[in-house]
Structure 1
């Protein structure tokens, strides 16, 4: 990345969304010396890679939220974006405020059930308290049902059983194979084996039929969960890890012509949104055929910011190419499975590289702050 460039005068970039992609974009803009505003509904970056462990370990959640202003100062604005006026080049916030831009980077990510996602207007203290409250509910429950056996559900079940080996943990999944379909079959099988070794009970190829009637994340003794086949599971606490969806609320009304049916934004090789040269999408809300990971979001951000600078200075635009796919599952602090460039990694290597720290140190370092 370069420093301040005279050709950047008059350029102001608005970044909507302070997740991994948005924060990476803001850091790159800062390093270029390009004027920008980062907007997020929270006042702190959420390292949600560690959100599931924050749900089971007391006094852990505060390490997963990093204050925006300590890193970006006045370039950060807390608020909820409700629309984009592409003609007047303004981002519209709830309450009527507007922020003008010459270039826009959309990084709204995905939304889903708490605790895997925490996309709500809040302060750092409120967010930490929400996870602390769930920790208490977990402690009160003797048996816990995790609904969904994708990456989040597998990691959630593992965190629960690792922190509370004597509690009953049941994982129900509609498919017969666990974790991300993009992972090697051998890695997915290994994830299943780790869960079984830890004592997680697996109900595969089954669905909960009365999920909408059940209260999530609140301990209620002997709650009856009905399965589609007619069987029942009696449980004390239910944590849902399904239903991940693109968070398109901020742009759905104004960029509908550039959206896919899933709500993601169509982008070209330069990460420019279809139909626009000054609007970019990065991270999970960009329609790129690759696993949705924080690592990829940062790569998108690099390309987007570089191309903003290049477009202003008249240079050739940079293209994004998906590299070797690395996927790592943290299965508690002591276990993990994963792959790199089509090869299965040793469990001990994944445990050492990701599971122990959940890469928290990396986010604190990148934000230029000291981890508590």
Structure 2
């Protein structure tokens, strides 16, 4: 099931990164008959929207990895991109292999501590085993401290308390209000109420001062955590849900003049990197002022591939416009909060629409494979 033969002579699009933006771009290229190569460090797409559920529920991890080769055939290459040679229009892999491009779509996402992220050159079975090992750490702990009360931390605390209601779960957050600032204030308050209903203890307006000294993701009885205000608490397991950063390793040196302060690539309205009309940035690595979500990465991919097709046929390029925020938080498998197009949704609707299976069906359908 490889990419179709190019309908345009000399066109070869290279997609770097096989996350939500990368697989969406590859599917658009495939259906449009454009020759392409998708490059990723793993051998399977990771539906990381479900990464937190995978971290607490035994046996769930396997369902969240979908092999690239079964969908994209020879158009998929596993490897780590070391740099981009913009003069020669080649992507250079770590082992020295070079892949020529006429157009480049960068979809490298974010990087950070293991749980939601597994950015290593490895088989997906390695990642599955790491998640299964982490589940055992959660099961062995009587108390869990979640550091960071953004949307990831909120969802993590809810997942643990839902799966293991007898465990003590504490969420510490440096701010008073939880979850993403792009969410409606009423939804952020609702997220707090759901956590309290589930029995999660909240420590708000405090920041951990000894985080660098703590062992993360490993059960160690009665680890002492200190805050900048002098509060001391003990926990068996500490999970950090902060510190994600743009994964710029593949392009940072090649596009150093096009980087925003956070390491993302600056883009124009057409999602082109300034000075490079044939290079596009999609998803978390694009400097677009909106929440970083799988949903937005898919929208970016459609615009980027559409603009490659438009440029080849001499048509006007399409602009990407940020709309009203749609964001759903899974608060365990039985509850959720969120908004659609800026409007607040009932909790039961979010639970039914997202929380129950975390939209796994959508990725399997996108990859044109049957979920086991």
Question: What SS class does the counterpart of residue 66 from structure 1 fall into?
Answer: strand
Asked if 1:265 corresponds to 2:265, the answer is: yes
Deviations 1:116-172 (A, max 9, x none): 222222211101001000000001000001000001000000000000000000100
2:147 & 2:4 partners in 1: Cα distance?
A: 49
Q: Note if contact 2:267-2:274 (Cα within 8 Å) is conserved in structure 1.
A: yes
Q: Note if contact 1:7-1:313 (Cα within 8 Å) is conserved in structure 2.
A: no
Structure 1 unmatched runs, 5+: none
Residues 250 and 313 (structure 1), Cα distance of their counterparts in 2 relative to 1, 3 Å cut: same
Moved more, 224-233 or 203-212: 224-233
Q: Note if contact 1:270-1:320 (Cα within 8 Å) is conserved in structure 2.
A: yes
The residue number in structure 2 matching 1:139 is 139
Deviations 1:221-272 (A, max 9, x none): 1111111111211110011100011111110001011111111111111111
How far has the Cα of 1:326 moved from its partner?
0.7
The residue number in structure 1 matching 2:202 is 202
Q: What TM-score comes out, normalization by structure 1 length?
A: 0.98
The residue number in structure 1 matching 2:369 is 369
Q: Note if contact 2:6-2:35 (Cα within 8 Å) is conserved in structure 1.
A: no
The residue number in structure 1 matching 2:29 is 29
1:319 & 1:341 partners in 2: Cα distance?
A: 19
1:321 & 1:241 partners in 2: Cα distance?
A: 29
The residue number in structure 2 matching 1:289 is 289
Question: What SS class does the counterpart of residue 272 from structure 2 fall into?
Answer: coil
The residue number in structure 2 matching 1:114 is 114
The residue number in structure 2 matching 1:20 is 20
Question: What SS class does the counterpart of residue 277 from structure 1 fall into?
Answer: strand
Question: What SS class does the counterpart of residue 169 from structure 1 fall into?
Answer: strand
Q: Note if contact 1:5-1:32 (Cα within 8 Å) is conserved in structure 2.
A: no
2:6 & 2:131 partners in 1: Cα distance?
A: 45
Question: What SS class does the counterpart of residue 146 from structure 2 fall into?
Answer: strand
Task: After TM superposition, list the pairs within 5 Å mapping 1:76-91 onto structure 2.
Answer: 76-91=76-91
Asked if 1:252 corresponds to 2:214, the answer is: no
The residue number in structure 2 matching 1:243 is 243
RMSD, aligned CA:
1.2
How far has the Cα of 1:315 moved from its partner?
1.5
2:369 & 2:162 partners in 1: Cα distance?
A: 29
The residue number in structure 1 matching 2:217 is 217
2:346 & 2:208 partners in 1: Cα distance?
A: 34
How far has the Cα of 1:340 moved from its partner?
1.7
1:113 & 1:270 partners in 2: Cα distance?
A: 32
Question: What SS class does the counterpart of residue 91 from structure 1 fall into?
Answer: strand
The residue number in structure 1 matching 2:322 is 322
Question: What SS class does the counterpart of residue 239 from structure 2 fall into?
Answer: strand
2:145 & 2:228 partners in 1: Cα distance?
A: 16
How far has the Cα of 1:4 moved from its partner?
7.4
Structure 1 segments (4+ residues) deviating >6 Å = 3-6
Q: Note if contact 1:116-1:241 (Cα within 8 Å) is conserved in structure 2.
A: no
Deviations 1:271-320 (A, max 9, x none): 11111100000001101111111111111100110111111121111111
1:13 & 1:255 partners in 2: Cα distance?
A: 18
Moved more, 184-193 or 119-128: 119-128
1:244 & 1:6 partners in 2: Cα distance?
A: 37
Residues 6 and 160 (structure 1), Cα distance of their counterparts in 2 relative to 1, 3 Å cut: closer
Question: What SS class does the counterpart of residue 144 from structure 2 fall into?
Answer: strand
Q: Note if contact 1:144-1:236 (Cα within 8 Å) is conserved in structure 2.
A: yes
Moved more, 73-82 or 318-327: 318-327
2:33 & 2:325 partners in 1: Cα distance?
A: 31
How far has the Cα of 1:341 moved from its partner?
2.4
2:28 & 2:341 partners in 1: Cα distance?
A: 27
1:367 & 1:251 partners in 2: Cα distance?
A: 26
2:175 & 2:121 partners in 1: Cα distance?
A: 34
Aligned residues: 370
Residues 214 and 25 (structure 1), Cα distance of their counterparts in 2 relative to 1, 3 Å cut: same
Q: Note if contact 2:6-2:33 (Cα within 8 Å) is conserved in structure 1.
A: no
How far has the Cα of 1:6 moved from its partner?
7.2
